[in-house]
Amino acid sequence: MASHFGKLNVYRLPLSSKQTLLAFDQGDLLALDYIHEQQLLQPHSRVLVVNDAFAAVTCGLTEAVKMLTGGVPTLWSDSHIAQQALAHNAQHNGLALADFVPAHKTPQGAFDLMVLKLPKSHRLLKDQVARLLPQLAAGAVIIMPVMVKHLDTPLFVLLESLLGPLTTSLARKKARLVLAAKVEAGDGESPPAQTHRWSVAGLGLTLDHYSGVFSPTKLDQGAQVLLENFPDGNYQHIIDLGCGNGVQAIMAAKKWPQSQVTGVDESCMAVASATNNALANGVGSQCRFITNDCLTDMDPQSADLILCNPPFHQERVMGDQIAMRMFAQAAQVLSADGELWVVGNRHLGYHAKLKRWFKQVQQIGSHPKFVVLKARL
């Protein structure tokens, strides 16, 4: 990645020899070049980078921040993979490690410069901005790099309603900067992270969601289909892979009270929500929730049931790469007679794909849109 701050080798995680996508985009480069050209880094500057998926902008600024201020930038993100990428890319380029704050906590200012990469979820964006404004110094500059195709009128109107008058840079290589300035200093008193609470009819569950958690206002249809077709064996160690709000883990803990249940998600907000939800629904001591990229470094052959409602996109990138990694790793972490239960859209063809790792794949139940599959080694 070559910006006016210099050249860095920045990697997308998980590392892969076949990688075709970059760890940064043209918006990131435009933001870095703009900060350099406008000399926005000053000896007193405190710098915050938000939603930087592979920490490219954060790493791009680290050396200059360190030299000028003696400190490091702060990366605020919901993503465990972003945290791992920050560590990897900093180490690989011999940079100081920037601070990382998970999205359900609020970074403490006052920040003079903020690069805000806009999340796809407007709910998350509103929550983040509401908590950030009080953490900005007087005269703080807010830079929002976007690819032009993602900057539609509703998004611009929303940003203006949150941040006041905006200006935009000229476009360069299909990217643009949206710019705002905070005239007055914030008072440092951010509201708590927003949560949304709802009940699942028929299951007796009440679930709280932080703003970045999957399906934040109602039970996902795929989740419901998996719950309606729950396994009926006898299990000791159960994993909810991509646990989101923890609904599958909580229902598993209730159905098999002798079991230990581990929920895994790459979203920090999901893990925090699921932890709270398990406690609130009476199964807190039976469940633990951890941030992880799929099942990386989890003990081989340690689980006898894995439940999985896999994601079908990573922010704006659609595809089944994450689902495939989940299935491959599930095959390692399951015991010899263990079972992987997956729900997915019919058209995704998971039945055939699971056969790469599993000898027996059986369709359970039927639904017009979804299939539930049981896979055994």
Ligand X SMILES: C[S@@+](CC[C@H](N)C(=O)[O-])C[C@H]1O[C@@H](n2cnc3c(N)ncnc32)[C@H](O)[C@@H]1O
In the complex, least distance from residue 79 CB atom to ligand X, rounded to whole angstroms: 9
What are the tokens at 9? 């080798």
CB of 181 to ligand X, least distance (A): 33
Q: What is the closest distance, in whole angstroms, from the C-beta atom of residue 332 to ligand X in the complex?
A: 15
Least distance CB 27 / ligand X (angstroms)? 22
The residue count for the chain = 377
112 versus 293: smaller Cβ distance to ligand X: 293
Q: Are 142 and 186 in contact (CB under 8 A)?
A: no
Please identify, using beta-carbon distances, which residue of 41 and 269 lies nearer to ligand X. 269
Question: Rounded to an integer, what distance in angstroms lies between the CA atom of residue 172 and that of residue 192?
Answer: 37
In sequence order, which ranges of the chain are alpha helices (DSSP H)?
26-37, 56-69, 80-92, 122-132, 153-163, 221-228, 247-255, 268-280, 321-333, 350-354
Complex with ligand X: residue 65 or 247, whichever CB lies closer: 247
Rounded to the nearest whole angstrom, what is the least distance from the CB of residue 51 to ligand X in the complex? 14
In the complex, the smallest distance separating the C-beta of residue 311 from ligand X, rounded to whole angstroms, is: 4
Instruction: Give the nearer residue to ligand X in terms of CB position, either 84 or 135.
Output: 84
Q: Which is nearer to ligand X, 135 or 329 (CB)?
A: 329
Which of residues 264 and 331 has its CB atom nearest to ligand X in the complex? 264
**Cβ distance 307 to 330 under 8 Å?**
no
Minimum gap (Å) between residue 125 Cβ and ligand X: 17
For residue 183, give the 3-state DSSP assignment.
coil
Which residue lies nearer to ligand X by CB, 298 or 361?
A: 298
The single residue listed with the structure tokens 């990897």 is 88
Backbone angles phi, psi at 343, to 5 degrees: -115, 140
Collapsed DSSP state (helix, strand, coil) of residue 347? helix
> Token pair for residue 97?
């490690």
User: Among 199, 194, 164, 169, which residue's Cα sits nearest to residue 180?
Assistant: 164
Find the shortest distance in angstroms from Cβ 330 to ligand X. Answer: 12
Q: Pick between residue 256 and residue 341 the one whose CB is nearest to ligand X.
A: 341
Rg (CA), the chain: 22
Nearer to ligand X, 50 or 251 (CB): 251
The 8-class DSSP code of residue 79 comes to B
Q: What b-and-e string marks burial along 206-229, b requiring 16 or more CB atoms within 10 Å of the CB?
A: ebbbbbbbbbbeebeebbbbbbeb
Of 107 and 242, the one with the shorter C-beta distance to ligand X is 242
Which parts of this chain interact with ligand X (CB under 6 A)? Answer: 214-215, 220, 223, 242-244, 247-248, 264-267, 270, 293-294, 309, 311, 322
Q: At its nearest, how many Å lie between ligand X and the CB of residue 270?
A: 5
Q: Across the strands, what pairs with 207?
A: 198
First to last CA, the chain: 42
Contacts of 94 (CB under 8 A, 6+ apart): none
Q: In the complex, what is the shortest distance from the CB of residue 266 to ligand X, in angstroms, rounded to a whole number?
A: 4
The dihedral over CA atoms of 60, 177, 118, 105, expressed in degrees to the nearest 10, equals: 60
- The answer to whether 372 touches 343, Cβ cutoff 8 Å, is yes
